[in-house]
Amino acid sequence: MSAYWRDIFYGSKSLIKGMLITGRQFFKPVVTEQYPYETPTLPPLFRGHIELIGNAESGLPNCVVCMMCQRACPSDCISLGGKKAEGGKGKVLTSYILDFTKCSLCGSCVESCKFDALRYSHEYNLVSFNKDDFIIDLMKRLEEQNRCKQ
């Protein structure tokens, strides 16, 4: 019989504790954002998917196809291709594909790039029911950004 009263006592005690926590939280200011009507302010260190950085003068990517980002990626979500430049040194980037379904946002690719060719985007609203929408061609995105600037 004593276990019965002990269970009632401890149950009442935990109920009162929970109600006190709820009461304290009830009077604090609301932090919920009304998302479709209010856009959130992103912190400066927000990590979206990666994007190519274009040269300020030509608009072409700074990437020299050294493949360091592809080697550094533990998720194997980056694939890039290049061809030898005509009459010049090195390679020219022809394709840069990011499979965002595999990306863990670790940042190894951005840290390994020595040519200032990659950065994190500030795009946060990536939603789709189609998996193919998350395979991103970063070369096309850079070209679209260059077109929008002009």
> What is the C-alpha separation between 136 and 32, in angstroms, rounded?
31
Q: What is the mean pLDDT of residues 82-110?
A: 90
Q: What is the mean pLDDT of residues 74-84?
A: 93
> What is the C-alpha separation between 9 and 28, in angstroms, rounded?
30
pLDDT score, position 86? 82
Residue 18: pLDDT band with limits 50, 70, 90: very high
Q: 28-59 pLDDT, tens per residue? A: 988 888 887 888 888 988 988 999 999 888 88
Cα 109 from chain centroid (whole Å): 13
pLDDT score, position 99? 95
pLDDT score, position 100? 93
pTM over 0.75: no
Q: 105-132 pLDDT, tens per residue? A: 999 999 999 999 999 998 888 889 999 9
CATH 3.40.50.300 fits 50-149, yes or no: no
pLDDT score, position 30? 83
pLDDT score, position 11? 95
Indicate the burial class of 18 (C-beta count within 10 angstroms; 0-12, 13-18, 19 or more).
exposed
